[in-house]
Structure 1
Amino acid sequence: MNTIRTRQRGLSIISLLIALTIGVFLLAGLFSLWLQTRNTFNAQGSLAQLQDNERIATTTMANALQSAGYYPLIDNYSTSPPSPLLTLSGALPVAGDFTAAGQFIYGTHGTNDTLEVRFMSDGNGLDCQGQQQADKTLVVNEYSIDTNGNLVCTVTTSTYGSTTTSTSSAQTIVPGVSNLLVQYGVDPGNTQSVTQYMTADQVTSGTDWSLVRSVNLQLTFTNPLAGSAANGAGQNTTVPMISRVVVLPQQSPL
């Protein structure tokens, strides 16, 4: 009886090469899809962080401006009746860059502007670095852009009635700021209505600073996508400027 034997046949080398080629193309497609998804996710994260930095910068500076010129009305609560009443010029005397008694805002204009805001703490006030200051402490919050493109704040304090000051080291509020421009809304006719905006160099004296009624904060941030190999092609190095106008508190007479 004859036995028919069959040999097991495998895939040919050509079939294997074709299968490998198809597998490589599939893997390349999956990798490309993963890479695009990752780049999109990173770009969205960078833009979200940019929006957070813009919000933090304007909110922090606006909060400081809204405390500009604040001082506790009563000098001594331990007497009966409490006395004497403080005035703006008495609470905020001439000191440092503040060349007029009662002046609570100052700035400089240049490649990047600086902004100084002054108030007297009642024991509950916070400076721009988040530190609580003691009662009757004169506080100057100064905002500027450092050489690394960070928006930073420096705090200078002094005890009421003393000429001794203490200045903190600069603390970063947010990174990635390309430019800070500050414009001051002034009321030269003292009509309680802003009629023009000036840069700091145009507000030439302490008397002019007393006529500032509002502040226009303009910040330009660097584009987080501009340096990205995946998303940076054709991107501008900065994003459009953001602006916020802050109305200063109404002050009592000097």
Structure 2
Amino acid sequence: MRRSTVLLRSRQRGLSIIEVLVSLVIGLVVVGAVLLSYVTSGQTNKLQAAYAQMNEDAQVGLLILSRDLQLAGYAQPTSLDAVTFQFGRTYSGSAVFGCDTGFVSASTTGNVACAAAGASPAIEVVYEGDITNTVEHSSGRPSDCLGAALTQQTVGLTDFYVTYNRYYVATSTLGRPELHCASKLGNTGGALVDNVENMKIWYGEANPIDKRQIVRYVSAANVLDPTFGHVVSVRVCLMMRSAEPVLSAEDPATYLDCDSVSQTSADRFARRAYFTTTALRNKMTF
């Protein structure tokens, strides 16, 4: 009995130090692979969420601009010339006006002026406002892009309201770039869309003979008519930026700007350019 017990004990042994180390290494490799997969998946989800947010913000910004541009130059007819068969209208001024260097003051109550240099391009969109093409103010009057009631004007026996919406890019107090709007009413500009880093605008000028044929797209400084009277289309680019730095060392840091020039993001913010082209329907001759 004692002999069998001794033999049984002699056959029992623990793990050697080499076996323990091999087991630890295998375990660490497995755990490391799981952690790497988790971190990579988290970074991918974070980047995708940033681009999804940029897509949504860009769509909102371009929709606001496109909607206003479609109304540019609109005014109700007040009379008909029996010789030329042309309608007289409540408002017959410029439908749009732009500055490549931004406005001196977007909220000035007079005519807007271009800044000397340095700012992002800006555009003024003008049309007759009513309670169907603007948000109705609590006073019952039409409103501008900030929701302020428009001032009544009168031509003959016709009362009307003119909207002067001025769009530009500015930086918030938190250092975040935003698409802003101000108006001729003197209201301080307000933010419409967050994380719009830059805006670029091209104006489509029509052929003097065929007013529906666009012959070129140019910046505001190169528009031939200082009143922008031959502009019948506007192309807008919004350069969007992610809300926070989301690019890792492994992510591509290059992007195309509004001029389709490759740029490099040195601050880890993701960027993407979004475009839209809008015909000024009230400036087209049919």
Greater alpha carbon shift after TM alignment, 43-52 vs 227-236: 227-236
Following TM superposition, by how much is the alpha carbon of 1:128 offset from its aligned partner in structure 2, in angstroms?
Answer: 7.2
Q: C-alpha distance in 2, partners of 1:252/1:32?
A: 58
Q: TM-score, normalised by structure 1?
A: 0.71
Q: Which residue of 2 aligns with 1:248?
A: 280
Following TM superposition, by how much is the alpha carbon of 1:72 offset from its aligned partner in structure 2, in angstroms?
Answer: 4.4
Q: Which residue of 2 aligns with 1:57?
A: 61
Following TM superposition, by how much is the alpha carbon of 1:105 offset from its aligned partner in structure 2, in angstroms?
Answer: 0.9
Q: C-alpha distance in 2, partners of 1:2/1:240?
A: 83
Q: Which residue of 2 aligns with 1:19?
A: 23
Q: Is the 8 A contact 1:67 1:249 kept in 2?
A: yes
Q: Is the 8 A contact 2:144 2:183 kept in 1?
A: no
Tell me the SS of whatever aligns to 1:30.
Answer: helix
Q: Which residue of 2 aligns with 1:183?
A: 202
Following TM superposition, by how much is the alpha carbon of 1:172 offset from its aligned partner in structure 2, in angstroms?
Answer: 3.5
Q: Is the 8 A contact 2:73 2:95 kept in 1?
A: yes
Q: Which residue of 2 aligns with 1:203?
A: 223
Tell me the SS of whatever aligns to 1:215.
Answer: strand
Q: Structure 1 128/216 Cα, relative in aligned 2: closer, same or farther at 3 Å?
A: farther
Alignment of 1:156 with 2:183, yes or no, is yes
Q: C-alpha distance in 2, partners of 1:195/1:119?
A: 24
Q: Is the 8 A contact 1:129 1:153 kept in 2?
A: no
The residue identity in structure 2 corresponding to 1:122 is: D
Q: TM-score, normalised by structure 2?
A: 0.64
Deviations 1:156-187 (A, max 9, x none): 25xxxxxxx3314321314142x322111123
Tell me the SS of whatever aligns to 1:191.
Answer: coil
Q: Which residue of 1 aligns with 2:51?
A: 47
Following TM superposition, by how much is the alpha carbon of 1:123 offset from its aligned partner in structure 2, in angstroms?
Answer: 1.9
Following TM superposition, by how much is the alpha carbon of 1:142 offset from its aligned partner in structure 2, in angstroms?
Answer: 1.3
Q: C-alpha distance in 2, partners of 1:128/1:174?
A: 20
Q: Structure 1 114/2 Cα, relative in aligned 2: closer, same or farther at 3 Å?
A: closer
Provide structure 2 residue ranges, at least 5 long, that are not aligned to the other structure: 79-86, 102-118, 136-142, 153-159, 255-263
Q: C-alpha distance in 2, partners of 1:18/1:188?
A: 80
2:99 pairs, out of 108, 112, 117, with: 108
Residues 50-199 of structure 1: matches in 2 within 5 Å? 50-73=54-77, 87-88=88-89, 91-92=90-91, 102-110=93-101, 112-124=120-132, 125-126=134-135, 129=145, 131=147, 133=149, 136-147=160-171, 148=175, 150-156=177-183, 165-177=185-197, 179-187=198-206, 189=208, 191-192=210-211, 193-199=213-219
Following TM superposition, by how much is the alpha carbon of 1:205 offset from its aligned partner in structure 2, in angstroms?
Answer: 5.4
Q: Structure 1 246/146 Cα, relative in aligned 2: closer, same or farther at 3 Å?
A: same
Tell me the SS of whatever aligns to 1:166.
Answer: coil
Following TM superposition, by how much is the alpha carbon of 1:24 offset from its aligned partner in structure 2, in angstroms?
Answer: 1.3
Provide structure 1 residue ranges, at least 5 long, that are not aligned to the other structure: 75-85, 93-100, 158-164
The residue identity in structure 1 corresponding to 2:147 is: Q
Deviations 1:93-144 (A, max 9, x none): xxxxxxxx52221110135210110122212314674738568443222111
Following TM superposition, by how much is the alpha carbon of 1:17 offset from its aligned partner in structure 2, in angstroms?
Answer: 2.8
Q: Is the 8 A contact 1:154 1:171 kept in 2?
A: yes
The answer to which structure has the higher strand fraction is 2
Tell me the SS of whatever aligns to 1:195.
Answer: strand
Q: Is the 8 A contact 1:123 1:133 kept in 2?
A: no
Following TM superposition, by how much is the alpha carbon of 1:51 offset from its aligned partner in structure 2, in angstroms?
Answer: 2.4
Q: C-alpha distance in 1, partners of 2:247/2:238?
A: 22
Tell me the SS of whatever aligns to 1:146.
Answer: strand
Q: C-alpha distance in 2, partners of 1:209/1:167?
A: 25
Following TM superposition, by how much is the alpha carbon of 1:61 offset from its aligned partner in structure 2, in angstroms?
Answer: 0.9
Residues 222-233 of structure 1: matches in 2 within 5 Å? 222=241, 228-233=247-252
Following TM superposition, by how much is the alpha carbon of 1:37 offset from its aligned partner in structure 2, in angstroms?
Answer: 1.4
User: Aligned Cα RMSD in Å?
Assistant: 3.5
Q: Structure 1 251/87 Cα, relative in aligned 2: closer, same or farther at 3 Å?
A: farther
Tell me the SS of whatever aligns to 1:120.
Answer: strand
Q: Is the 8 A contact 1:121 1:133 kept in 2?
A: no
Following TM superposition, by how much is the alpha carbon of 1:151 offset from its aligned partner in structure 2, in angstroms?
Answer: 4.0
